[in-house]
């Protein structure tokens, strides 16, 4: 027996209930904190919730992912409710716009276009349609840049990756990872020169160039710089925790010399390598 109609009805009911709860929280007599929020004030929470979703996925903790996806959806409901209050648009308009976009940008699924037999082909098709939409948009100013589609509010590493991808979509790109690696070496040399010069602003500029080049290198190697750095952060946490656990009783970590701390770090790396070579 096909129970899809029942599942769809239940889903619609739960979604409508979430919308109604959000409206009640923002209504007179609702939650003082929710009523006091604005588009600007909850931006940081949106970023935090998105990263908590990533963290749950990284940990493969599916109950946590269930919870975090709900928190992320709450952000959408929050923005849509405030937009409706201000007369900008409604949640229904958001959904209608999304549905139309998904259908419009997947003509190989919903139309008769046969130009996307691979994930790469489907992505190229999406980007081509997106560019055409931008060009046809009456809201696009003649002096606007295609890079304007990349939000400046993104975390800097993610923004760098997306900027490079945008430029690469029209052919402004390195042919392979090798010349990007040379660019990283070049930027590192320029950073050393800036450090020798001792000018703080120049050092910051060269640091930024180095980060941008590394983000480009990650992209050419088909890795996300954001996810790669997150993995390194987890590794650092794990090794540092091992250092904390291996200190002598009554001797806090901060009382160790730099050389002793380095020894603890090397020991933590060694234990990690053994654990990875002999998984339980």
Residue 141 has pLDDT above 90, yes or no: no
Q: Which ranges in the chain belong to alpha helices (H)?
A: 4-26, 32-36, 43-58, 62-86, 91-104, 107-110, 119-136, 156-168, 177-197, 200-220, 225-245, 258-277
**What was the pLDDT predicted at 132?**
83
**What was the pLDDT predicted at 279?**
52
Residue 37 has pLDDT above 80, yes or no: yes
In this prediction, residue 250 has a pLDDT band, given cuts at 50, 70 and 90, of confident
Domain ranges of the chain: 7-104, 150-223, 227-277
Query: What pLDDT, in 10s, does the model give residues 157-207?
Result: 889 999 999 899 889 999 999 999 999 999 999 999 999 999 999 999 999
What is the CATH superfamily name and number for domain 7-104? Answer: MazG-like (1.10.287.1080)
What is the CATH superfamily name and number for domain 150-223? Answer: MazG-like (1.10.287.1080)
Of the two residues 248 and 83, the one the predictor is more confident about is 83
Contact predicate 135/190, CB 8 Å: no
At CA 201, angle to CA 199 and CA 207, rounded to 5?
A: 100
* Identical fold between 7-104 and 150-223: yes
Query: What pLDDT, in 10s, does the model give residues 253-276?
Result: 899 999 999 999 999 999 888 887
The residue whose two tokens read 């979430």 is 18
Q: What is the mean pLDDT of residues 99-115?
A: 86
């Amino acid at each position: 027996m096909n129970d899809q109609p029942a599942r769809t009805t239940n889903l619609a009911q739960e979604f409508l209930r979430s919308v109604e709860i959000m409206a009640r929280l923002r209504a007179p007599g609702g939650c003082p904190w929710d009523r006091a929020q604005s588009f600007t004030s909850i931006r940081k929470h949106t970023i935090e919730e998105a990263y908590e979703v990533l963290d749950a996925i990284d940990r493969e903790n599916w109950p946590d992912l269930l919870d975090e996806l709900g928190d992320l959806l709450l952000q959408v409901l929050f923005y849509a409710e405030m937009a409706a209050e201000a007369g900008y648009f409604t949640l229904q308009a958001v959904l209608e716009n999304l549905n139309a976009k998904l259908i419009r940008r997947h003509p190989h699924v919903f139309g008769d276009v046969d130009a996307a037999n691979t994930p790469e082909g489907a992505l190229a098709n999406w980007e081509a349609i997106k560019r055409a939409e931008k060009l046809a948009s009456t809201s696009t100013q003649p002096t606007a840049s295609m890079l304007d589609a990349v939000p400046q509010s993104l975390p800097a590493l993610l923004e760098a990756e997306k900027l490079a991808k945008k430029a690469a979509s029209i052919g402004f790109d390195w042919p392979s990872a090798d010349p990007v690696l040379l660019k990283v070496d070049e930027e590192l040399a320029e950073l050393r020169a800036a450090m020798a010069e001792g000018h703080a602003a120049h050092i910051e500029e060269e640091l930024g160039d180095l980060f941008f080049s590394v983000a480009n290198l990650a992209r050419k190697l088909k890795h996300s710089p954001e996810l790669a750095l997150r993995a390194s952060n987890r590794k650092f946490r794990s090794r540092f925790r091992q250092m904390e656990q291996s200190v002598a009783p009554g001797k806090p970590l901060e009382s160790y010399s730099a050389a002793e701390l380095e020894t603890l770090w090397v020991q933590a790396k060694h234990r990690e390598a053994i654990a990875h070579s002999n998984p339980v």
